[in-house]
Chains A and B, each alone.
Chain A
Amino acid sequence: MEEVQLGEEDIDKATEVAPALISVHPFEKSVVVALGSELRVFDLEGDCSISLSDDSGGPGHSDSIRAICFDASGRLFASAGDDKLVKIWMADSWCCIRIVCADKRVSAVAISHDGSFVVFADKFGVVWVVSLDGDGESQALCAKKPMPILGHYCSIITTLKFSPDGRFVASADRDFKIRVTIFPRDPLKGAHEIQSFCLGHTDFVSCLAFVCPSDYPLGFLLSGSGDSTVRLWDFSSGCLLATCEALESNETDKGNHPAVTDISSSADGALIVVSIQSFHGVMLLNCNFSAKSLSVAKVVSMKGSYVPTSLCVSSLAKHLWTVMGASNQPSSGTTQLARVRVCSISRQDGEDDLLVLEDNDTPGGEKLLSKLQGSSDVTEIESMLVSTTSALNSAIHNLLTKKQYSSEKREFRKKNRNDRKQKQ
């Protein structure tokens, strides 16, 4: 087994590689890329790049950013990561209005539907909530502290999402579980009522997306996992409605399971896009909600060894924004690089299609690309990215896949465990 050969330090280094993330404003007013500890913002409306400012003076975070998101109205933006901070920004002025200190590294973040609460999850499986209302003095001080609202016992939470009507919050973890909890009117007291558990994945769940087709106002939940499937759920009952294998059947013989790394969809579920480890491009899925079926509709390949690490479709569903990058680049004082590719979405005969845009056709053009990527030299970026791909893959697996030790290794580890007091 590979784990036996890797030394403990190697494993730690590998898990520190953070994938680049991208998030687009719901109405495509701006685009944000998070690469390592940097937040790069480009204002699409004003066609200019933004430099961020907050009270602490840093243009982002002091350690890898692990989660970013806009709220549904596009008024707020949240970023959080390994520096144990959650930063909340106004999406128009890009001022940081709040910095929340967490006890542990943050792995996921989401903003409630009405923008009054931010929830974030730490690597210990606890989900916290913090209230954004009333930053004035009249607010009791204790309301500013994050309160724990629920937990996945001793599991790493990979993603948090609110349902479109704001009534539910879904949390997914590395122990194959998805928990859908009722988000109460007063979440500071906790979210104790579990609506359902969506169980069926056979490996860590990496991403979630709610969809709300017009005929089904309650909506459905989509999830992607390390087991190479995307699943459709009736989240009110936890019932698994459909499973889609993201792999071609001949690839399963190899015995490896490329993980579904990200999923993004239009609000009505007509367009569903997924990115998969080691797959160059994205996959379009088709979901027939009445027939309860989910299948691969189209494979959109992107040339140049492009494996997106993060995807985002805006509420307007005009473009699909993708980014590829990792934070472990050999830093010699130069800018960290990422590659951004955009696709335009067109609807023909009721079906959506993606068209990969060339760099000069991208909204925001060269200016946007050079800001978000860190460079406009595509060849330079691509050659650098090739080296980071394998490190990224092992990072995901080391973090999220349970280590399977042989029984000899297990006994060896137990022998070295010291239950006596630490000798200081």
Chain B
Amino acid sequence: MLNNNEKAHHNGQSSRLPRKRFYRARAHSNPLSDSHFPIPISPSEVDYAQHFPHFFPPEMCDQDKCDAPIPKVRFADIGCGFGGLLVSLSTLFPDALMIGMELRDKVSEYVKERILALRASNPGQYENISVVRTNSMKYIPNYFEKGQLSKMFFLFPDPHFKEKNHRRRVISIQLLDEYAYALEVGGIIYTITDVEELGDWMRTCLENHPLFEAIPEEELEADPVVELLTSATEEGQKVARNGGQTFKAIFRRIAFKE
């Protein structure tokens, strides 16, 4: 059984999707623990060729010959889980490079395998998505230059219910400074949760932050991405199955006003 998954390492020779039950992990991971995974020292050190080989063929490495602008990651899914959103977004925006960030080791491995399998069984597709195992609460500036992203996603983040653990929440006034740094002016931050208290918390943080403003309902209705927040991920599908309510807070990154 596992042999098929091993074969997937070799340039996606196997197109068999990885089985989730070999990648089970606890839903919770401690964002405060010091990392034992490699981190790029700066955005220029991110290995794009490894993540998006289709977009960075070997000829491109010779920079003198390259006149075309170098594509950069534009969408980031923070806490991408099993990769559901990335897979849905990939076909919706085939020219945009997207990256998922996941702290849990096994889960990020699963997403890697899933992407490789999808690329093998759908030639030419899914080349624009990838995953990296990292702690996005500490290392966003290591991966993204100022204003690089046009969309950031925070889907069903860990609620950290206890008050003493609120500081571990991925959305906070302090961390929004860094997310605002990575997002371009006009970029959009999408958050959704099925926990009402967390939904209020995230909405309040965004409302109180001077670099974000709420997006009016009419615009949200026209945005094809909004619907994916509930339908595209495993977590979202589970909530829908159980008939639960979801709470969204979708804001735009704006320039500072005195």
**In the complex, what residues of B have CB within 8 A of residue A190's CB?**
173, 210
Q: Is B217 an interface residue (CB 8 A)?
A: no
- Beta-carbon contacts under 8 Å, A176-200 to B: 176-177, 179, 181-182, 185, 189-190, 192-194, 196-197, 199-200
A190 to B, closest residue via Cβ: B173
Q: A151-B174, A193-B211, A194-B180 are in contact. Are A175 and B146 (CB under 8 A)?
A: no
A407 to B, closest residue via Cβ: B36
Q: Is A150 an interface residue (CB 8 A)?
A: yes
A189 pairs with B177, CB closer than 8 A: no
**CA of A196 to CA of B210 in the docked complex: distance in angstroms?**
18
User: How many interface residues does B have (CB within 8 Å)?
Assistant: 25
B141 pairs with A199, CB closer than 8 A: yes
A150 pairs with B174, CB closer than 8 A: yes
Q: A189-B210, A192-B210 are in contact. Are A154 and B138 (CB under 8 A)?
A: yes
**CA of A39 to CA of B48 in the docked complex: distance in angstroms?**
52
A192 pairs with B180, CB closer than 8 A: yes
Query: What 0/1 pattern do residues 129 to 167 of A give for CB contact below 8 A with B?
Result: 000000000000000000010110111000000000000
A186 to B, closest residue via Cβ: B258
Q: How large is the interface on A (under 10, 10 to 19, 20 to 34, 35 or more residues)?
A: 20 to 34
A410 to B, closest residue via Cβ: B36
Q: Is B175 an interface residue (CB 8 A)?
A: yes
Q: A177-B141, A192-B180, A199-B142 are in contact. Are A154 and B210 (CB under 8 A)?
A: no
A176 pairs with B41, CB closer than 8 A: yes
B41 partner, pick from A179, A202, A404, beta carbons under 8 A: A202
**In the complex, what residues of B have CB within 8 A of residue A402's CB?**
34
**CA of A238 to CA of B141 in the docked complex: distance in angstroms?**
11
B167 to chain A, nearest CB (A): 8
Q: A153-B137, A153-B138, A202-B41 are in contact. Are A196 and B146 (CB under 8 A)?
A: yes
B177 partner, pick from A155, A194, A196, A238, beta carbons under 8 A: A194
Q: Is A13 an interface residue (CB 8 A)?
A: no
Q: Is A126 an interface residue (CB 8 A)?
A: yes
Q: Is B106 an interface residue (CB 8 A)?
A: no
Knowing that A177-B141, A192-B173 are A-B contacts, what are 19 other residue pairs whose CB atoms are under 8 Å apart, sorted by A's residue number? A126-B174, A150-B174, A150-B177, A151-B177, A176-B41, A181-B177, A185-B258, A192-B176, A193-B256, A194-B181, A196-B146, A197-B146, A197-B181, A199-B41, A199-B42, A199-B43, A202-B41, A240-B42, A404-B36
Residues of B that sit less than 8 Å from A by CB: 31-32, 34, 36, 41-43, 137-138, 141-142, 146, 173-178, 180-181, 209-211, 256, 258
